[in-house]
Chain A
Amino acid sequence: MEMTQELFEKIEAYIEGSLSETELGSFKTLIEANPELKNEITIHKELQNELANTKAIDFRKKLITAKEELAQENTKQKKKTLASSSYWKIAASIIFIIGVSTFFWFQNTTEQDLYAMYYTPYPIGDIKRGADDTENKVFKDILFNYKNQKYQETITDLEKLVLQKPNEEKLKLCLGNSYLNTDQLIKAKTLFKAFSTESTNYFDAQWFLALTYLKMNQKDSMIPILKELISQNTRYKKNAIALLKDLEDE
Protein backbone atom coordinates (compact mmCIF):
# COMPACT_ATOMS: atom_id res chain seq x y z
CA MET A 1 0.00 0.00 0.00
CA GLU A 2 1.47 3.32 -1.04
CA MET A 3 1.85 5.82 1.81
CA THR A 4 0.74 9.12 0.35
CA GLN A 5 0.37 12.52 1.96
CA GLU A 6 -3.41 12.16 1.72
CA LEU A 7 -3.34 8.79 3.50
CA PHE A 8 -1.04 10.13 6.24
CA GLU A 9 -3.37 13.05 6.85
CA LYS A 10 -6.34 10.69 7.01
CA ILE A 11 -4.52 8.53 9.57
CA GLU A 12 -3.82 11.65 11.63
CA ALA A 13 -7.46 12.75 11.44
CA TYR A 14 -8.55 9.22 12.43
CA ILE A 15 -6.25 9.25 15.49
CA GLU A 16 -7.36 12.76 16.38
CA GLY A 17 -11.02 11.74 16.00
CA SER A 18 -11.83 14.44 13.49
CA LEU A 19 -13.15 12.29 10.63
CA SER A 20 -16.83 12.69 9.74
CA GLU A 21 -19.13 9.73 10.37
CA THR A 22 -19.14 8.72 6.70
CA GLU A 23 -15.36 9.08 6.38
CA LEU A 24 -14.86 7.11 9.58
CA GLY A 25 -17.04 4.24 8.35
CA SER A 26 -15.23 3.84 5.06
CA PHE A 27 -11.80 4.27 6.73
CA LYS A 28 -12.59 1.53 9.26
CA THR A 29 -13.52 -0.80 6.39
CA LEU A 30 -10.21 0.03 4.70
CA ILE A 31 -8.31 -0.73 7.93
CA GLU A 32 -10.00 -4.09 8.38
CA ALA A 33 -9.12 -5.10 4.84
CA ASN A 34 -5.54 -3.94 5.16
CA PRO A 35 -3.19 -5.20 7.90
CA GLU A 36 -0.35 -3.01 6.63
CA LEU A 37 -2.50 0.07 7.22
CA LYS A 38 -3.38 -1.20 10.68
CA ASN A 39 0.33 -1.47 11.55
CA GLU A 40 0.98 1.97 10.11
CA ILE A 41 -1.75 3.45 12.32
CA THR A 42 -0.23 1.78 15.39
CA ILE A 43 3.15 3.36 14.61
CA HIS A 44 1.54 6.79 14.10
CA LYS A 45 -0.35 6.52 17.41
CA GLU A 46 2.76 5.44 19.29
CA LEU A 47 4.85 8.18 17.69
CA GLN A 48 2.31 10.75 18.77
CA ASN A 49 2.44 9.50 22.37
CA GLU A 50 6.18 8.99 22.55
CA LEU A 51 7.50 12.03 20.76
CA ALA A 52 5.15 14.56 22.35
CA ASN A 53 7.40 14.12 25.39
CA THR A 54 10.55 15.91 24.35
CA LYS A 55 12.29 15.40 27.70
CA ALA A 56 13.48 11.90 26.83
CA ILE A 57 14.66 13.08 23.41
CA ASP A 58 16.56 15.99 24.96
CA PHE A 59 18.14 13.63 27.48
CA ARG A 60 19.14 11.27 24.67
CA LYS A 61 20.81 14.19 22.86
CA LYS A 62 22.88 14.78 26.01
CA LEU A 63 23.91 11.12 26.02
CA ILE A 64 25.03 11.45 22.41
CA THR A 65 27.11 14.50 23.38
CA ALA A 66 28.63 12.49 26.26
CA LYS A 67 29.45 9.67 23.86
CA GLU A 68 31.12 12.07 21.42
CA GLU A 69 33.11 13.75 24.19
CA LEU A 70 34.32 10.38 25.37
CA ALA A 71 35.33 9.38 21.84
CA GLN A 72 37.22 12.65 21.40
CA GLU A 73 39.02 12.12 24.69
CA ASN A 74 40.03 8.63 23.63
CA THR A 75 41.37 9.92 20.33
CA LYS A 76 43.34 12.69 22.09
CA GLN A 77 44.69 10.16 24.55
CA LYS A 78 45.85 7.91 21.75
CA LYS A 79 47.54 10.83 19.97
CA LYS A 80 49.23 11.87 23.22
CA THR A 81 50.51 8.37 23.83
CA LEU A 82 51.89 8.24 20.32
CA ALA A 83 53.52 11.64 20.58
CA SER A 84 55.18 10.88 23.89
CA SER A 85 56.82 7.73 22.62
CA SER A 86 60.56 7.97 22.23
CA TYR A 87 62.31 7.54 18.92
CA TRP A 88 63.29 3.91 19.38
CA LYS A 89 59.78 3.08 20.47
CA ILE A 90 58.44 4.54 17.23
CA ALA A 91 60.90 2.47 15.26
CA ALA A 92 59.91 -0.63 17.17
CA SER A 93 56.25 0.24 16.63
CA ILE A 94 56.74 0.56 12.90
CA ILE A 95 58.17 -2.93 12.78
CA PHE A 96 55.34 -4.14 14.98
CA ILE A 97 52.70 -2.34 12.91
CA ILE A 98 54.04 -3.86 9.72
CA GLY A 99 53.67 -7.25 11.35
CA VAL A 100 50.21 -6.53 12.74
CA SER A 101 48.92 -4.96 9.56
CA THR A 102 50.13 -7.92 7.58
CA PHE A 103 48.24 -10.10 10.03
CA PHE A 104 45.09 -7.98 9.72
CA TRP A 105 45.53 -7.74 6.00
CA PHE A 106 45.29 -11.51 5.84
CA GLN A 107 42.36 -11.47 8.26
CA ASN A 108 40.52 -8.81 6.27
CA THR A 109 41.19 -10.21 2.85
CA THR A 110 37.50 -10.92 2.35
CA GLU A 111 36.54 -7.35 3.23
CA GLN A 112 39.26 -5.99 0.93
CA ASP A 113 38.07 -8.26 -1.85
CA LEU A 114 34.47 -7.22 -1.35
CA TYR A 115 35.47 -3.58 -1.29
CA ALA A 116 37.41 -3.92 -4.53
CA MET A 117 34.47 -5.74 -6.09
CA TYR A 118 31.85 -3.12 -5.19
CA TYR A 119 33.70 0.15 -5.21
CA THR A 120 33.43 2.46 -8.21
CA PRO A 121 34.52 6.09 -7.76
CA TYR A 122 31.79 8.70 -7.70
CA PRO A 123 31.81 10.30 -11.19
CA ILE A 124 33.24 13.80 -11.07
CA GLY A 125 32.07 14.68 -14.59
CA ASP A 126 28.75 16.37 -13.82
CA ILE A 127 30.00 18.90 -11.27
CA LYS A 128 29.44 22.58 -12.09
CA ARG A 129 32.59 24.31 -13.24
CA GLY A 130 33.96 27.51 -11.75
CA ALA A 131 32.79 30.99 -12.63
CA ASP A 132 36.18 32.46 -13.57
CA ASP A 133 39.51 31.40 -15.07
CA THR A 134 41.27 30.84 -11.73
CA GLU A 135 38.46 28.62 -10.52
CA ASN A 136 38.45 26.80 -13.84
CA LYS A 137 42.18 26.10 -13.54
CA VAL A 138 41.70 24.65 -10.05
CA PHE A 139 38.76 22.67 -11.29
CA LYS A 140 40.75 21.28 -14.25
CA ASP A 141 43.51 20.15 -11.87
CA ILE A 142 40.97 18.45 -9.63
CA LEU A 143 39.30 16.82 -12.61
CA PHE A 144 42.62 15.56 -13.99
CA ASN A 145 43.91 14.20 -10.67
CA TYR A 146 40.60 12.64 -9.62
CA LYS A 147 40.05 10.93 -12.96
CA ASN A 148 43.62 9.61 -12.87
CA GLN A 149 43.08 8.35 -9.34
CA LYS A 150 45.69 10.72 -7.94
CA TYR A 151 43.54 11.15 -4.87
CA GLN A 152 46.21 12.43 -2.51
CA GLU A 153 47.05 15.26 -4.91
CA THR A 154 43.44 16.31 -5.28
CA ILE A 155 42.48 16.41 -1.59
CA THR A 156 43.90 19.88 -0.73
CA ASP A 157 42.22 21.52 -3.74
CA LEU A 158 38.95 19.73 -3.08
CA GLU A 159 38.97 20.70 0.59
CA LYS A 160 39.43 24.37 -0.37
CA LEU A 161 36.69 24.19 -2.99
CA VAL A 162 34.27 22.50 -0.59
CA LEU A 163 34.85 25.35 1.87
CA GLN A 164 34.16 27.90 -0.87
CA LYS A 165 31.10 26.06 -2.15
CA PRO A 166 29.51 24.38 0.87
CA ASN A 167 26.28 23.71 -1.02
CA GLU A 168 27.96 21.80 -3.85
CA GLU A 169 27.39 18.34 -2.43
CA LYS A 170 28.83 16.46 -5.40
CA LEU A 171 32.20 18.02 -4.59
CA LYS A 172 31.86 16.64 -1.07
CA LEU A 173 31.21 13.19 -2.50
CA CYS A 174 34.41 13.43 -4.55
CA LEU A 175 36.34 14.59 -1.47
CA GLY A 176 34.89 11.70 0.53
CA ASN A 177 35.92 9.31 -2.23
CA SER A 178 39.43 10.76 -2.17
CA TYR A 179 39.62 10.21 1.60
CA LEU A 180 38.31 6.70 1.13
CA ASN A 181 40.95 5.90 -1.48
CA THR A 182 43.78 7.26 0.65
CA ASP A 183 42.61 5.33 3.72
CA GLN A 184 41.62 8.45 5.64
CA LEU A 185 38.61 6.50 6.80
CA ILE A 186 37.54 8.57 9.82
CA LYS A 187 37.48 11.69 7.63
CA ALA A 188 35.53 9.83 4.94
CA LYS A 189 33.05 8.51 7.51
CA THR A 190 32.50 11.95 9.10
CA LEU A 191 31.98 13.57 5.72
CA PHE A 192 29.50 11.00 4.38
CA LYS A 193 27.62 10.92 7.68
CA ALA A 194 27.15 14.68 7.57
CA PHE A 195 24.84 14.51 4.54
CA SER A 196 21.34 15.50 5.55
CA THR A 197 18.51 13.04 4.89
CA GLU A 198 16.94 15.82 2.86
CA SER A 199 19.91 16.11 0.50
CA THR A 200 19.43 14.89 -3.08
CA ASN A 201 22.78 13.11 -2.74
CA TYR A 202 21.88 11.50 0.58
CA PHE A 203 21.73 7.95 -0.82
CA ASP A 204 25.01 8.43 -2.73
CA ALA A 205 26.62 9.42 0.56
CA GLN A 206 25.01 6.45 2.31
CA TRP A 207 26.40 4.03 -0.26
CA PHE A 208 29.93 5.37 0.15
CA LEU A 209 29.46 5.40 3.93
CA ALA A 210 28.60 1.71 3.74
CA LEU A 211 31.78 1.08 1.72
CA THR A 212 33.77 3.08 4.28
CA TYR A 213 32.42 0.81 7.02
CA LEU A 214 33.30 -2.19 4.85
CA LYS A 215 36.87 -0.95 4.63
CA MET A 216 36.85 -0.39 8.41
CA ASN A 217 35.49 -3.91 8.87
CA GLN A 218 32.47 -2.52 10.76
CA LYS A 219 29.75 -4.74 9.39
CA ASP A 220 27.30 -3.90 12.16
CA SER A 221 27.27 -0.29 11.06
CA MET A 222 27.16 -1.16 7.37
CA ILE A 223 24.23 -3.58 7.29
CA PRO A 224 21.44 -1.16 8.34
CA ILE A 225 22.63 1.28 5.65
CA LEU A 226 22.50 -1.41 2.96
CA LYS A 227 19.02 -2.38 4.11
CA GLU A 228 17.92 1.22 3.87
CA LEU A 229 19.34 1.57 0.35
CA ILE A 230 17.33 -1.51 -0.60
CA SER A 231 14.06 -0.54 1.06
CA GLN A 232 14.22 2.97 -0.38
CA ASN A 233 14.54 1.55 -3.88
CA THR A 234 17.64 3.62 -4.62
CA ARG A 235 19.93 3.24 -7.61
CA TYR A 236 22.26 1.31 -5.30
CA LYS A 237 19.60 -1.27 -4.53
CA LYS A 238 21.00 -4.00 -6.77
CA ASN A 239 24.55 -3.63 -5.44
CA ALA A 240 23.33 -3.38 -1.85
CA ILE A 241 21.37 -6.66 -2.19
CA ALA A 242 24.39 -8.43 -3.69
CA LEU A 243 26.78 -7.06 -1.07
CA LEU A 244 24.46 -8.07 1.77
CA LYS A 245 24.28 -11.56 0.34
CA ASP A 246 28.07 -11.75 0.01
CA LEU A 247 28.41 -10.70 3.64
CA GLU A 248 25.99 -13.40 4.77
CA ASP A 249 27.92 -15.99 2.77
CA GLU A 250 31.20 -15.13 4.52
Chain B
Amino acid sequence: MNNQKKFIVSHAPFWHNGSNIRQKSYHTVFAALPAALLGIYYYGIPALGVISLSISSAILWELLMNYATKRSISVGDGNAAMIGLIFGMLLPASMPWWAVITGTFFAIIIGKQIFGGIGSNPFNPAALSIAILMVSWKNYFDFNAALLNYDLDFVMIYPLTLLKQLGSPAADSYSMIDLIMGKQAGGIGSTFGLGLIVGGIYLMIRGFIRWEISVSFLAGIFITSFVFNLVDPVRFVGPAFHIFTGYTLIGAFFLITDDSSSPVNMVPMLIYGAVGGVMIVLIRNIGGYIDGVIMTTLLINLINPLLDKIRPKAMGKVV
Protein backbone atom coordinates (compact mmCIF):
# COMPACT_ATOMS: atom_id res chain seq x y z
CA MET B 1 0.00 0.00 0.00
CA ASN B 2 2.99 2.30 0.34
CA ASN B 3 3.29 3.05 -3.33
CA GLN B 4 -0.42 3.66 -3.58
CA LYS B 5 -1.18 6.44 -6.05
CA LYS B 6 -3.13 9.42 -4.86
CA PHE B 7 -6.21 9.84 -6.98
CA ILE B 8 -8.60 12.74 -6.80
CA VAL B 9 -11.90 11.80 -5.25
CA SER B 10 -14.87 14.08 -5.65
CA HIS B 11 -18.55 14.13 -6.27
CA ALA B 12 -20.39 13.87 -9.59
CA PRO B 13 -20.65 15.41 -12.08
CA PHE B 14 -17.10 15.20 -13.30
CA TRP B 15 -17.42 17.71 -16.08
CA HIS B 16 -17.86 21.44 -16.17
CA ASN B 17 -18.60 23.66 -19.11
CA GLY B 18 -15.69 25.94 -18.26
CA SER B 19 -17.65 29.11 -17.56
CA ASN B 20 -16.49 31.20 -14.63
CA ILE B 21 -17.07 34.52 -12.94
CA ARG B 22 -13.81 36.06 -14.13
CA GLN B 23 -14.69 35.42 -17.74
CA LYS B 24 -18.08 36.99 -17.17
CA SER B 25 -16.64 40.12 -15.55
CA TYR B 26 -13.95 40.69 -18.14
CA HIS B 27 -16.29 40.19 -21.04
CA THR B 28 -18.64 42.76 -19.53
CA VAL B 29 -15.70 45.17 -19.19
CA PHE B 30 -14.75 44.43 -22.78
CA ALA B 31 -18.29 45.14 -23.98
CA ALA B 32 -18.38 48.43 -22.09
CA LEU B 33 -15.04 49.64 -23.46
CA PRO B 34 -16.18 51.17 -26.79
CA ALA B 35 -18.54 53.55 -25.01
CA ALA B 36 -15.96 54.39 -22.35
CA LEU B 37 -13.23 55.00 -24.91
CA LEU B 38 -15.36 57.38 -26.95
CA GLY B 39 -16.16 59.30 -23.78
CA ILE B 40 -12.46 59.56 -23.00
CA TYR B 41 -11.83 60.72 -26.57
CA TYR B 42 -14.38 63.53 -26.22
CA TYR B 43 -13.64 64.66 -22.69
CA GLY B 44 -9.90 64.03 -22.70
CA ILE B 45 -7.56 63.46 -19.80
CA PRO B 46 -10.01 64.34 -16.99
CA ALA B 47 -12.34 61.59 -18.21
CA LEU B 48 -9.47 59.13 -18.37
CA GLY B 49 -8.57 60.17 -14.85
CA VAL B 50 -12.08 59.62 -13.53
CA ILE B 51 -12.41 56.16 -15.14
CA SER B 52 -8.94 55.03 -14.04
CA LEU B 53 -9.42 56.26 -10.51
CA SER B 54 -12.84 54.67 -10.38
CA ILE B 55 -11.59 51.24 -11.47
CA SER B 56 -8.48 51.30 -9.31
CA SER B 57 -10.20 52.57 -6.19
CA ALA B 58 -12.98 50.01 -6.60
CA ILE B 59 -10.38 47.24 -6.70
CA LEU B 60 -8.61 48.68 -3.68
CA TRP B 61 -11.81 48.96 -1.64
CA GLU B 62 -12.58 45.35 -2.44
CA LEU B 63 -9.06 44.28 -1.43
CA LEU B 64 -9.27 46.30 1.77
CA MET B 65 -12.59 44.71 2.62
CA ASN B 66 -11.17 41.24 1.90
CA TYR B 67 -8.46 41.88 4.48
CA ALA B 68 -10.82 43.52 6.95
CA THR B 69 -13.28 40.65 6.85
CA LYS B 70 -10.53 38.00 6.65
CA ARG B 71 -12.02 36.41 3.57
CA SER B 72 -10.18 35.06 0.58
CA ILE B 73 -8.97 37.68 -1.88
CA SER B 74 -11.67 38.16 -4.48
CA VAL B 75 -10.32 40.99 -6.63
CA GLY B 76 -9.16 38.41 -9.16
CA ASP B 77 -12.70 37.66 -10.26
CA GLY B 78 -12.86 41.06 -11.95
CA ASN B 79 -16.19 41.98 -10.45
CA ALA B 80 -14.82 44.99 -8.57
CA ALA B 81 -13.08 46.26 -11.71
CA MET B 82 -16.31 45.85 -13.64
CA ILE B 83 -18.31 47.79 -11.04
CA GLY B 84 -15.60 50.48 -11.03
CA LEU B 85 -15.75 50.85 -14.79
CA ILE B 86 -19.54 51.03 -14.95
CA PHE B 87 -19.56 53.49 -12.08
CA GLY B 88 -16.96 55.67 -13.80
CA MET B 89 -18.90 55.61 -17.03
CA LEU B 90 -21.92 57.11 -15.27
CA LEU B 91 -19.97 60.09 -13.91
CA PRO B 92 -19.40 63.41 -15.67
CA ALA B 93 -15.79 64.01 -16.68
CA SER B 94 -15.37 66.82 -14.20
CA MET B 95 -16.09 64.72 -11.12
CA PRO B 96 -13.58 65.60 -8.35
CA TRP B 97 -11.25 62.83 -7.24
CA TRP B 98 -12.61 62.59 -3.71
CA ALA B 99 -16.14 62.09 -4.98
CA VAL B 100 -14.98 59.23 -7.21
CA ILE B 101 -13.26 57.48 -4.33
CA THR B 102 -16.25 58.02 -2.04
CA GLY B 103 -18.47 56.73 -4.81
CA THR B 104 -16.56 53.50 -5.25
CA PHE B 105 -16.61 53.11 -1.47
CA PHE B 106 -20.39 53.24 -1.57
CA ALA B 107 -20.49 50.89 -4.55
CA ILE B 108 -18.10 48.24 -3.30
CA ILE B 109 -18.50 48.35 0.44
CA ILE B 110 -22.02 49.63 1.05
CA GLY B 111 -23.46 48.25 -2.18
CA LYS B 112 -21.83 44.86 -2.27
CA GLN B 113 -19.45 43.77 0.49
CA ILE B 114 -21.53 44.40 3.57
CA PHE B 115 -24.29 42.27 2.09
CA GLY B 116 -21.84 39.39 1.80
CA GLY B 117 -19.95 40.10 -1.40
CA ILE B 118 -20.61 38.98 -4.91
CA GLY B 119 -24.01 37.44 -5.48
CA SER B 120 -25.55 38.87 -2.34
CA ASN B 121 -26.06 42.50 -3.31
CA PRO B 122 -29.74 43.38 -3.47
CA PHE B 123 -29.04 46.48 -5.58
CA ASN B 124 -26.77 47.16 -8.47
CA PRO B 125 -23.70 48.54 -6.64
CA ALA B 126 -22.90 51.19 -9.24
CA ALA B 127 -26.49 52.44 -9.40
CA LEU B 128 -26.79 52.52 -5.62
CA SER B 129 -23.62 54.54 -5.31
CA ILE B 130 -24.67 57.03 -8.00
CA ALA B 131 -27.99 57.45 -6.21
CA ILE B 132 -26.23 58.23 -2.94
CA LEU B 133 -23.91 60.71 -4.65
CA MET B 134 -26.80 62.33 -6.50
CA VAL B 135 -28.59 62.94 -3.24
CA SER B 136 -25.44 64.08 -1.45
CA TRP B 137 -23.76 66.28 -4.05
CA LYS B 138 -26.48 67.18 -6.45
CA ASN B 139 -24.50 69.87 -8.22
CA TYR B 140 -21.87 67.54 -9.55
CA PHE B 141 -24.55 65.64 -11.43
CA ASP B 142 -25.93 68.74 -13.08
CA PHE B 143 -24.34 67.94 -16.39
CA ASN B 144 -24.80 71.47 -17.72
CA ALA B 145 -22.79 72.93 -14.88
CA ALA B 146 -20.34 70.06 -14.75
CA LEU B 147 -19.42 70.28 -18.40
CA LEU B 148 -19.39 74.08 -18.52
CA ASN B 149 -15.75 74.27 -19.47
CA TYR B 150 -16.11 71.96 -22.41
CA ASP B 151 -16.81 73.34 -25.81
CA LEU B 152 -17.06 70.39 -28.14
CA ASP B 153 -18.52 70.43 -31.63
CA PHE B 154 -22.01 69.50 -30.47
CA VAL B 155 -24.85 70.92 -28.34
CA MET B 156 -23.51 71.00 -24.80
CA ILE B 157 -26.85 71.17 -23.05
CA TYR B 158 -27.87 67.99 -21.28
CA PRO B 159 -30.78 66.68 -23.38
CA LEU B 160 -32.94 65.60 -20.47
CA THR B 161 -32.69 68.98 -18.73
CA LEU B 162 -33.82 70.64 -21.89
CA LEU B 163 -36.60 68.10 -22.17
CA LYS B 164 -37.84 68.94 -18.67
CA GLN B 165 -37.89 72.62 -19.53
CA LEU B 166 -39.20 72.66 -23.07
CA GLY B 167 -41.01 69.41 -23.57
CA SER B 168 -41.09 67.92 -27.00
CA PRO B 169 -39.44 70.83 -28.87
CA ALA B 170 -36.23 70.02 -26.98
CA ALA B 171 -35.68 67.22 -29.43
CA ASP B 172 -35.30 69.71 -32.26
CA SER B 173 -31.99 70.89 -30.86
CA TYR B 174 -30.39 67.53 -31.38
CA SER B 175 -29.93 65.43 -34.47
CA MET B 176 -30.66 61.75 -33.92
CA ILE B 177 -27.33 60.78 -35.48
CA ASP B 178 -25.48 62.93 -32.96
CA LEU B 179 -27.31 61.29 -30.07
CA ILE B 180 -26.52 57.81 -31.35
CA MET B 181 -22.87 58.65 -31.97
CA GLY B 182 -22.40 60.04 -28.49
CA LYS B 183 -22.38 63.70 -29.46
CA GLN B 184 -24.37 64.83 -26.43
CA ALA B 185 -23.60 65.94 -22.93
CA GLY B 186 -23.78 63.29 -20.25
CA GLY B 187 -21.79 60.71 -18.30
CA ILE B 188 -18.39 59.71 -19.70
CA GLY B 189 -19.44 56.34 -20.98
CA SER B 190 -23.20 56.62 -21.14
CA THR B 191 -23.71 58.75 -24.23
CA PHE B 192 -22.37 56.57 -27.04
CA GLY B 193 -25.62 54.79 -27.96
CA LEU B 194 -24.20 52.73 -30.79
CA GLY B 195 -21.26 51.50 -28.70
CA LEU B 196 -23.52 50.53 -25.82
CA ILE B 197 -25.91 48.70 -28.12
CA VAL B 198 -23.09 46.78 -29.81
CA GLY B 199 -21.64 45.90 -26.40
CA GLY B 200 -25.06 44.89 -25.13
CA ILE B 201 -25.78 42.68 -28.12
CA TYR B 202 -22.38 41.04 -27.70
CA LEU B 203 -23.17 40.28 -24.05
CA MET B 204 -26.62 38.96 -24.89
CA ILE B 205 -25.34 36.67 -27.63
CA ARG B 206 -22.57 35.33 -25.45
CA GLY B 207 -25.12 34.70 -22.71
CA PHE B 208 -23.47 36.97 -20.11
CA ILE B 209 -26.60 39.06 -19.72
CA ARG B 210 -30.17 38.04 -20.39
CA TRP B 211 -31.87 39.43 -23.46
CA GLU B 212 -35.28 39.15 -21.77
CA ILE B 213 -34.39 41.92 -19.33
CA SER B 214 -32.83 44.38 -21.76
CA VAL B 215 -35.37 43.87 -24.50
CA SER B 216 -38.41 44.17 -22.25
CA PHE B 217 -36.85 47.23 -20.63
CA LEU B 218 -36.36 48.98 -23.96
CA ALA B 219 -39.80 47.83 -25.11
CA GLY B 220 -41.29 49.26 -21.91
CA ILE B 221 -39.67 52.63 -22.60
CA PHE B 222 -40.68 52.55 -26.23
CA ILE B 223 -44.32 51.71 -25.69
CA THR B 224 -44.87 54.03 -22.72
CA SER B 225 -43.21 57.04 -24.33
CA PHE B 226 -45.05 56.27 -27.55
CA VAL B 227 -48.38 56.39 -25.73
CA PHE B 228 -47.43 59.63 -23.95
CA ASN B 229 -46.37 61.10 -27.26
CA LEU B 230 -49.70 60.15 -28.82
CA VAL B 231 -51.64 61.80 -26.03
CA ASP B 232 -49.75 65.08 -26.08
CA PRO B 233 -47.08 65.40 -28.79
CA VAL B 234 -46.13 68.88 -27.61
CA ARG B 235 -45.43 68.08 -23.99
CA PHE B 236 -44.07 64.57 -24.43
CA VAL B 237 -41.28 63.61 -26.79
CA GLY B 238 -41.26 60.40 -28.85
CA PRO B 239 -39.60 57.09 -27.95
CA ALA B 240 -36.33 57.49 -29.86
CA PHE B 241 -35.29 60.53 -27.85
CA HIS B 242 -35.88 58.68 -24.59
CA ILE B 243 -33.90 55.68 -25.68
CA PHE B 244 -30.80 57.53 -26.85
CA THR B 245 -30.47 60.08 -24.08
CA GLY B 246 -29.43 59.99 -20.45
CA TYR B 247 -28.54 56.69 -18.85
CA THR B 248 -31.12 54.64 -20.76
CA LEU B 249 -28.81 52.41 -22.78
CA ILE B 250 -26.10 51.88 -20.18
CA GLY B 251 -28.94 51.11 -17.80
CA ALA B 252 -30.53 48.62 -20.18
CA PHE B 253 -27.36 46.63 -20.79
CA PHE B 254 -25.12 47.21 -17.79
CA LEU B 255 -27.14 48.29 -14.77
CA ILE B 256 -30.42 46.43 -14.61
CA THR B 257 -28.89 43.19 -15.96
CA ASP B 258 -26.66 42.72 -12.90
CA ASP B 259 -26.98 39.05 -11.96
CA SER B 260 -27.58 39.21 -8.31
CA SER B 261 -30.19 41.96 -8.33
CA SER B 262 -32.21 40.73 -11.31
CA PRO B 263 -34.61 37.79 -11.63
CA VAL B 264 -33.72 34.47 -13.23
CA ASN B 265 -37.03 33.09 -14.43
CA MET B 266 -38.46 33.99 -17.80
CA VAL B 267 -41.70 35.76 -16.84
CA PRO B 268 -40.19 37.69 -13.91
CA MET B 269 -37.37 38.89 -16.19
CA LEU B 270 -39.90 40.26 -18.66
CA ILE B 271 -41.94 41.98 -15.95
CA TYR B 272 -38.80 43.31 -14.28
CA GLY B 273 -37.56 44.93 -17.47
CA ALA B 274 -40.95 46.23 -18.54
CA VAL B 275 -41.70 47.79 -15.15
CA GLY B 276 -38.32 49.50 -15.33
CA GLY B 277 -39.06 50.87 -18.78
CA VAL B 278 -42.47 52.20 -17.78
CA MET B 279 -41.11 53.80 -14.61
CA ILE B 280 -38.36 55.65 -16.44
CA VAL B 281 -40.75 57.33 -18.82
CA LEU B 282 -43.13 58.15 -15.97
CA ILE B 283 -40.31 59.79 -14.01
CA ARG B 284 -38.99 61.67 -17.00
CA ASN B 285 -42.37 62.84 -18.24
CA ILE B 286 -44.34 63.57 -15.11
CA GLY B 287 -41.92 62.93 -12.25
CA GLY B 288 -39.52 65.15 -10.38
CA TYR B 289 -36.16 63.80 -11.49
CA ILE B 290 -34.46 64.68 -14.73
CA ASP B 291 -33.32 61.14 -15.52
CA GLY B 292 -35.12 58.25 -13.89
CA VAL B 293 -32.76 55.39 -14.76
CA ILE B 294 -30.84 55.24 -11.48
CA MET B 295 -33.89 55.41 -9.24
CA THR B 296 -35.77 53.00 -11.47
CA THR B 297 -32.90 50.52 -11.30
CA LEU B 298 -33.03 50.61 -7.52
CA LEU B 299 -36.79 50.27 -7.56
CA ILE B 300 -36.88 47.21 -9.78
CA ASN B 301 -33.97 45.71 -7.84
CA LEU B 302 -36.23 46.04 -4.84
CA ILE B 303 -39.12 44.14 -6.39
CA ASN B 304 -36.86 41.45 -7.85
CA PRO B 305 -37.14 38.91 -4.99
CA LEU B 306 -40.90 39.22 -5.09
CA LEU B 307 -41.03 38.84 -8.87
CA ASP B 308 -38.84 35.78 -8.80
CA LYS B 309 -41.51 33.96 -6.85
CA ILE B 310 -43.35 33.62 -10.14
CA ARG B 311 -41.82 30.40 -11.32
CA PRO B 312 -42.81 27.21 -13.07
CA LYS B 313 -44.03 24.39 -10.89
CA ALA B 314 -41.31 21.93 -10.03
CA MET B 315 -41.70 18.43 -11.40
CA GLY B 316 -43.73 16.20 -9.13
CA LYS B 317 -44.48 18.98 -6.71
CA VAL B 318 -47.43 18.19 -4.52
CA VAL B 319 -49.30 21.31 -3.58
A binds B: no
